Amino acid sequence: MAAPLRVLVTGAAGQIGYSLVLQIAKGDVFGKETPIVLVLLDIPPMAAVLEGVQFELTDCALANLTGVEAVTNEKDAFTNIDYAFLVGAMPRKEGMERKDLLAANVRIFKSQGKALADFAKPTTKVIVVGNPANTNAFICAKYAAGKIPSRNFSAMTRLDHNRASAQVALKSGVTVGNVKNVIIWGNHSSTQFPDVSHAKVTKSSGEVDAVSAVGDAEWLKTGFISLPSQTVQKRGAVIIEKRKLSSAMSAAKAACDHIHDWYKGTPEGVFVSMAVPSDGSYGIPEGLIFSFPVTIANGEWKIVQGLELNDFAQEKIAVTTKELLEERDEALAACGESKQ
C-alpha cells in the first residue's frame, strides 16, 4: 500500500467541515484506493466536538482511512500535510464592516500561511473555502512564500460553478452531467461573473451552445446572474434565509470537486472554475487570486487562453476585479504592509 496522504481540514468541527470530512474519508476526492490520514483542526473551545467527529469517522469503518487526528494547534495540524482544506474563518456578524471581517481573517490566514511555511511539505496544495476566500488565499500564499509556490494556493469558486451549471441544466431541460464549460470569473462574492457564453449542453440532438439550449438570452444576463430565486451570485444568501444556516452540503461537495480535479485532472475538452494566482491573463493584475476557467493535467492547472469576451463580459469582469483589488489592499493594510 502507498504511503497515505495527509489531508488537513480546518474548521473541522463546523457545519461545512462535518459535511466535508466524510466525503474525503470515503474516497470521493482521492479515490477509494488511496489511503489517507485525516487531520482535523479547530479552535480549543471546540475540542470536544472535534473528538466527536473523530469518533464518528472511526465508526464509519472505512478501509482507506488509515488514521484520524483531532488537533487544536497549528504545528500538529500542518506538519507534513499533502493537501489542506482551509475552511475555518471568522464569519461576518451583524454590524460588522467588511474591513473588520478582513482584518479578523487576515490574522487567521497570515498565521496559517506561516504555519504552512514552517511545518508543511513544499508540495502541499491548498484550497481556501473560508470567506472572503480569494483574499484569504492571497494572504495565506503571501506568508507561505519561499516554502510553497503561490500556484499551490487556490480559492473555491467551484460552488458557484456548480450552481451555474445546475441552473443551465434546469433551464435547458437536461441533467447537469450534460452541461460543461460554464465559467465563474473573479471573486467569490456578489460581484462574480457567471459566464455561459463558452458553455456547451448535450441534448438528444447533439451538443449545442448553452445560450441556444437555454433559449432566453435576457434571463442569462439578469435572473441567471443575480435574481435571488434563480441566482448564482446571491444563492448563498437565499439558502441562509431558508435554512437559517449557510450552505454546507453543497459547499463541501464543491470543495471535494475542486481538489478531486486538481488531483485527478479534467477530462479532455472540459474546463472548470478555480480561483488561482493570475499570470496576467485577460488583463487581470498578476498575482491577484481570481477565478478563471482552467484545465488540469498531472496535478497542474492551466488557465484556458483565447476565449473571446464581449463588452458585457468585460464590464462584469472589471467590476469584480476592482473589488478584489480593494480587498487585497485592505488586507495588506491590516497586515501593516503597503500594496505590492
Domains observed in the chain: 5-155 (3.40.50.720), 158-325 (3.90.110.10)
Q: Annotated binding site, which residues?
A: 11-17, 42, 92, 98, 105, 129-131, 163
Distances (CA, A) of 187 to 133, 156, 244, 282, 330: 8, 10, 24, 15, 15
Q: Catalytic residues, which ones?
A: 188
- pLDDT exceeds cutoff 70 at 236: no
pLDDT (tens digit per residue) in 131-140: 899 999 999 9
Max Cα separation, the chain? 58
Q: Annotated binding site for NAD(+), which residues?
A: 11-17, 42, 105, 129-131
Quick count: other Cβ atoms within 10 Å of Cβ 30?
22
Reported as a pLDDT band with limits 50, 70 and 90, residue 248 is confident
What CA–CA distance (Å, rounded) separates 65 from 126?
Answer: 20
- pLDDT exceeds cutoff 60 at 230: no
Q: Decide: 210 and 182 in contact? Cβ < 8 Å.
A: yes
Predicted local confidence at residue 52, as pLDDT: 98
Phi, psi dihedrals of residue 171, rounded to the nearest 5°: -70, -25
Task: State mean pLDDT over 124-150.
Answer: 96
Q: Annotated binding site for substrate, which residues?
A: 92, 98, 131, 163
What CA–CA distance (Å, rounded) separates 26 from 5?
Answer: 13
- pLDDT exceeds cutoff 80 at 3: yes
Q: What does the buried/exposed string (b/e) look like for 134-160 if buried means 16 or more CB atoms within 10 Å of the residue's CB?
A: bbbbbbbbbbbeebbebebbbbbbbbb
Reported as a pLDDT band with limits 50, 70 and 90, residue 233 is low
Question: Which residue(s) pair with 71 in the sheet?
Answer: 41
Task: State mean pLDDT over 92-119.
Answer: 86
Q: Lowest-pLDDT range, 72-86, 109-123, 246-260, 267-281? A: 246-260
What CA–CA distance (Å, rounded) separates 329 from 280?
Answer: 18
What CA–CA distance (Å, rounded) separates 72 from 103?
Answer: 22
pTM over 0.85: yes
pLDDT (tens digit per residue) in 31-83: 999 999 999 999 999 999 999 999 999 999 999 999 999 999 999 999 999 99
